[in-house]
Amino acid sequence: MMRLLNNDVGGRWLIGSLLLAIVLIPVLNSLPASSSLYFPTYSVTLLGKYLTLALLALSVDLVWGYLGILTLGHAAFFALGAYAMGMYLMRQIGDRGVYANAELSDFMVFLDWQELPWFWQGFDQFWVAILMVMLVPAVLAFGFGYLAFRSRVSGVYLSIITQAMTYALMLAFYRNEMGLGGNNGLTDFKDILGYSLQSDHTKMALFIASAVALIIGYLLCRFITTSRAGKVVVAIRDAEERTRFMGYRVENIKLWVFVFSAMLAGVAGALYVPQVGIINPNEFSPLNSIEVLVWVAVGGRATLYGAAMGAILINYAKSYLTVELPEVWLFVLGGLFVFVTLVLPQGVAGLLKRKGTE
């Protein structure tokens, strides 16, 4: 691990902070509520959500920052992973739903379905859900990437196609015929692996799982970007035709990086759902993909740790401002993106690098 983090001060700070949080926050959460150092369970869940979104930002930075693909569709992979986990959580409800049907979810009973759809089979098993969390986004990314990269679609055209993909999925998932809850999506989750989602211990475990996933995701991305293959990835970003002329199969390299990033986004979605308690088609919204780009740009494109830092900081600001100043939050977000683009093109990470060299 230390070899991967050589010359990566930001990465060491990020992982060190996450490890410290894994140790310190459970201790602070166990203190009496009257203590000034008490860390409430609500904040634990909120921080866990931020960490899952940081993992999503990491997956986008790998594709946009290092491969040079401005993706507007990673919300689709995130949402697919979230739906896969949501389906498992729905199967765990059993006969505790409103209609007390042990086999069918409440929305299925309401729609007068007589049997469980074929694609819900197996989701009562956790290992099947975990497999689908990674496999479904990977299959979509592979199919989409294979067609797009083989056709040498690039630039703004590729960005538009990725946006169209996630928008089409959003419209499809809104339909009740999809068998995934329609407008309302999946919600009213009870437990995971037999543990109540309302339990403070379960919420803490999900927070720790999110932190560990972010650490592993960061190290995997760092491994890719510092490897020989990673150098080729950057070469494709900077001079694709020259890289192709040197004999590299550019399409294949683009494809495997794109698929890996989609799997990472799916894992982020799977960790997000049990902590927020709902997944619906709004998560496919192209605006969500655009917002992730803002996180990455603010934190620092092509830095990895900057993307994670940007996601955490902006989502914290969003949580605060949507309560204190709900009318101006979107203007703040847009203004921040414009400011960073004009004044800090390398994001906060770039600013810290400059400060460190002065």
- Tens digits of residue pLDDT in 333-348: 778 778 877 777 778 7
Q: Is residue 292 part of a domain?
A: no
Q: What is the pLDDT of residue 214?
A: 97
Q: Is residue 11 part of a domain?
A: yes
Q: Is residue 116 part of a domain?
A: yes
Q: Is residue 37 part of a domain?
A: yes
Q: What is the pLDDT of residue 98?
A: 87
Tens digit of each residue's pLDDT (9 = 90 or more) over 277-299: 999 999 999 889 989 998 999 99
Q: How far is CA 344 from CA 46, 85, 349, 352, in A?
A: 28, 38, 9, 11
Q: Which is nearest to 86 in space by CA: 284, 278, 285?
A: 278
25: containing domain: 2-283
CA 9/CA 35 separation, integer angstroms: 34
Q: What is the pLDDT of residue 338?
A: 81
Q: What is the pLDDT of residue 320?
A: 84
Q: Which is nearest to 141 in space by CA: 90, 71, 233?
A: 71
Q: Which is nearest to 310 in space by CA: 12, 69, 14, 73?
A: 14
Q: What is the CB-side half-sphere exposure of residue 90 using CA atoms within 13 A?
A: 26
Q: What is the pLDDT of residue 256?
A: 95
Q: Is residue 205 part of a domain?
A: yes
Q: What is the pLDDT of residue 339?
A: 80
Q: Residues in the chain with pLDDT < 50?
A: 358
Q: Is residue 182 part of a domain?
A: yes
Q: How many CB atoms lie within 10 A of CB 358?
A: 5
Q: Is residue 48 part of a domain?
A: yes
Domain count for the chain, please give it: 1
Q: What is the pLDDT of residue 213?
A: 97
Q: How far is CA 98 from CA 72, 82, 197, 241, in A?
A: 38, 23, 18, 59
Q: What is the pLDDT of residue 102?
A: 86
Q: Is residue 28 part of a domain?
A: yes
